[in-house]
């Protein structure tokens, strides 16, 4: 029996490093309660936001096709006349993009806020709507 042990060696974890699942501790159940409460709140907010988000993306798509293309071409033609076609091809999007597209995005967000004022309880919801309008622009452009 020399060299054999009746009790195997236990791998000791460092002190203070426990696993996540500890059902005997009250803090574990309290944390699960707060996580479930947060999940329910987030799902509720997503259902509330699902009313305005598709409208914002659709505005981004429609505003891009209706207003941005003619305005961009109106900026491209003077750039081509002043700097030549190579200059317009290289620098035209950089010259036309910010003034036209960002103005239309801001106008879209302002229009949506004015139309559906009760759907925006916080500034963050307006920011998310602006992101969705920008996503509509970006999605349709590519």
pLDDT in tens, 44-58: 777 766 677 788 888
Nearest to 112 by CA among 68, 53, 61, 66: 53
CB 92 within 8 A of CB 100: no
Contact 133, 113 (CB under 8 A): no
User: Where do the domains of the chain lie?
Assistant: 50-141
Residue 65 DSSP one-character state: I
Name the DSSP class of 122: S
Query: For residue 10, is pLDDT > 70?
Result: no
Per-residue pLDDT, 13? 57
Check whether 17 has a pLDDT greater than 70: no
Is residue 95 within 8 A of residue 115, CB to CB? The reply is no
Q: Are 96 and 75 in contact (CB under 8 A)?
A: yes
The string of pLDDT tens digits covering residues 123-136 is 988 998 899 888 88
Using only the alpha carbons of the chain, give its radius of gyration: 28
Q: Compute the distance between CA of residue 60 and CA of residue 9 in angstroms, rounded to an integer.
A: 64
39 token code pair: 């999940």
Please check the confidence at residue 22 and state whether its pLDDT lies above 60. yes
Q: How far apart are CA 103 and CA 8, in angstroms?
A: 72
Helix (H, G, I), strand (E, B) or coil at 88: helix
- The listed range with the strongest mean pLDDT (36-50, 60-74, 86-100) is 86-100
Contact 17, 94 (CB under 8 A): no
């Amino acid at each position: 029996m020399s060299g054999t042990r009746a009790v195997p060696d236990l791998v000791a974890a460092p002190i203070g490093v426990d696993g996540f699942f500890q059902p005997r501790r009250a803090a574990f159940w309290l944390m699960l309660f707060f996580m479930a409460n947060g999940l329910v709140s987030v799902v509720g907010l997503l259902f509330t936001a699902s009313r305005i988000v598709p409208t914002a993306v659709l505005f981004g798509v429609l505003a891009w096709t209706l207003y941005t293309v003619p305005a961009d071409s109106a900026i491209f033609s003077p750039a081509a006349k002043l700097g030549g076609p190579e200059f317009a091809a290289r620098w035209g999007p950089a010259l036309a993009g910010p003034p036209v597209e960002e103005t239309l995005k801001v106008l879209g967000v302002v229009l949506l806020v004015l139309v559906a004022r009760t759907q925006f309880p916080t500034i963050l919801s307006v920011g998310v709507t602006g992101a969705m309008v920008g996503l509509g622009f970006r999605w349709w452009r590519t």
